Structure 1
Amino acid sequence: MKISPFATPIAIAGPLRKPRQMLADQTYDSHKSIHDDATAADLGLRGAPIEGPTHFSQFDPLLLALWGPAWFETGCISAHYQNMVVEGEEVRAFVEQPAPDARFVRIWAEKKDGTPVLKGTASVGAPLADDPPTEIEQRIANLRPSAQLVINRDLAVGQKGAVSPEHVRMGFDQHMGEHYPFTLNDKLRVITEPCPWYTAEDGAGSPWGRPIVPTEMVSVLLGTTMGQAGFRGRGPAIGLFAGQQIRYLQGPIFVDHPYELEREIIALSESAKTESVWVRTRVYDAKTRALVAEMILNHATLKASYEPYEREARELGRVPAGGAA
């Protein structure tokens, strides 16, 4: 890479894409999610939002171009979701042009009109003590302890999943359940960035000799059994993903391979409009017990969607806190 005398930041940009909505039939605790048009309308939204990790697919080709196959082996994508995207809107992914041999970059995504979709970081390689914090690590470090939770008052930092380990796998035609009512093949037919490494037909040609799970679908794999963890706040209420980090430690994640999951609540927080549960999910190879990946998810619940919120807050003598979730 040539050395430039300019300090002007340069970014690598992908093409504009129209991500597809796959969660119209998603249910949580027997009620529709925010990804249902009618539910979204009841919350005053102009349409059902596309789930945040869907946008991770647009970063995979950019980060593969920077770091090669190591991206799927030891890469980390960490993002704070800023604005919702509805089907039909166009989104472009951006990656900061790294310095030579750099293993950490800033990333962001925007709609066609410049509206921010997400911002975050990406990195590659085993984490080191002197690495800069990822987007999610920085946000957790900046959280203010909250003693004012209403919806999530029954949960605690350090709480482990009720079922441990949870057993998961993702075959090509395996329906992923009520949280993710589609199959991997369904996703591959509409994914924004098709890749032969993801497919049954050509996956053997990947650097690992078998098909791999796209980064956005790692979130689906780990979310399929999340109900088993028992991390339920008061409800019914509507939640959404406010931020997320996926780190490969000994990746990739392979199609139709057994994995075991262990979950832990690592933070609880609230903003003016939401209460958040921050959960770390560790992914182990079920055959070798090697730790192959982990995800940190900020699952935020909309206070306004929990009908008795104001009454219960008063009964608890609690005043809702402001600040970022």
Structure 2
Amino acid sequence: MAADAFETEIAETAEALIGPWRQPRQMLQAQTYDAHASIHDDTTAQKLGFKGGTIEGPTHFSQFAPLGARLWGQAWFETGCLSAHYRSVCYEGEEVQAILSKPLPGTSQCQIQMVKRDATEVLRGTASVGEPHAATALEARLAELKPLADPVILRDVKVAHTGKRQTVRMAFDQTMGDLYPFSLRQKLAVITENSPYYSGADNPWGRAIIPMEMLSVLFQYRSKDDPLPAKGPAVGLFADQEIRLIKGPLFVDEDYEVEREVVALSGSRRTESAWARTRVFDKAGAVVATMLLNMATLKDSYAPYEEEYRRLYG
């Protein structure tokens, strides 16, 4: 018999499953891309108006895993989906709590929320298993987006742009490159919700599986080998993210192929956003997972933004 997936203490009400307060760790202080530091570096973040280096959004996905496993059991690890809009940044030392509202009878999708002690909302979205027959949080958000007007940083990026297929793998002691300068083993030492499923064969599949937050790392691992034709250097952050397992779980020490496609471009007063959908294939060529990611680039981080905007648009 497989071990229990989690030992997390979960509070249950008639309406929701509620996880414990946790303090997620910030592991991206040394992250670099485009030969410069990122939003997770204290100095860079402070220059852009943040209090310090921010915790990467998918770090929070781990706190929802015990809630999904309690509600849906094994199906959560095989066909689970988290679809989240990041509402505010989180800094190391802050406590956050995951809340999963129970689905209506006969449905397989529900609302999720993460909050800080002062009730600040870190993220909101949906969780589901299988085919929920309803739009996820980000599917609904995509349908309402207005096209990006007057692009500067993303002026050469086009919807439907598809990158090259790339082979990716995650081993326990493999450092995941400049974007993710740590290993799975280092992550498991500090992850908010650890599980025997993540470190050995004591689970229904007989092999160590990759935590959902680390799927984001796996899927983005080689993204800079085939980057979008965006202007830079500039600093970006994850604004929206959905990870969906179709034929899961995904395994440690297993080769997969990933392919990224730009599915939308959007913007705000402070950002230009490229929405990319990553499809993940196993050795047999079957799609086993997908990720929808909104990488929002901060206009203020691109030094010639104002000059180039005037040249392009007057």
In structure 1, distance between residues paired with 2:131 and 2:255: 23
Structure 1: 5+ residue stretches without partners: 1-7, 319-325
Does the CA-based 8 Å contact 1:108-1:119 persist in structure 2? yes
Alignment match of 2:217 (pick from 191, 215, 220): 220
2:30 matched to 1:25? yes
In structure 2, distance between residues paired with 1:59 and 1:256: 24
Q: Which amino acid aligns with 2:52?
A: G
Helix, strand or coil for the counterpart of 2:172?
coil
Report what 1:35 is aligned to.
40
Does the CA-based 8 Å contact 1:266-1:278 persist in structure 2? yes
Deviation of 1:72 (Å):
1.2
Report what 1:62 is aligned to.
67
Report what 2:250 is aligned to.
253
State the Cα RMSD in Å. Answer: 1.2
Structure 2: 5+ residue stretches without partners: 1-12
Does the CA-based 8 Å contact 2:148-2:272 persist in structure 1? no
Q: Which amino acid aligns with 1:72?
A: F
1:203-218 → structure 2 map (5 Å cutoff) = 203-218=200-215
In structure 2, distance between residues paired with 1:271 and 1:229: 26
In structure 1, distance between residues paired with 2:14 and 2:72: 19
Report what 1:288 is aligned to.
284
Identical residues among aligned pairs (%): 56
Deviation of 1:9 (Å):
7.5
Deviation of 1:100 (Å):
3.3
In structure 1, distance between residues paired with 2:159 and 2:51: 35
Report what 2:170 is aligned to.
170
In structure 1, distance between residues paired with 2:304 and 2:34: 17
Does the CA-based 8 Å contact 1:160-1:229 persist in structure 2? no
Report what 2:16 is aligned to.
11
Deviation of 1:211 (Å):
0.6
Deviation of 1:95 (Å):
0.3
Report what 2:295 is aligned to.
299
Report what 1:4 is aligned to.
none
2:130 matched to 1:125? yes
In structure 2, distance between residues paired with 1:104 and 1:123: 4
Helix, strand or coil for the counterpart of 1:94?
strand
Report what 2:182 is aligned to.
182
In structure 1, distance between residues paired with 2:172 and 2:106: 36
**Number of aligned pairs?**
302
Helix, strand or coil for the counterpart of 2:98?
strand
In structure 2, distance between residues paired with 1:17 and 1:109: 11
In the superposition, the TM-score normalised over structure 1's length comes to 0.91
Alignment match of 1:155 (pick from 150, 154, 157): 157
Deviation of 1:181 (Å):
0.2
Q: Which amino acid aligns with 2:173?
A: D
Deviation of 1:101 (Å):
3.9
Report what 1:106 is aligned to.
111
Q: Which amino acid aligns with 2:299?
A: K
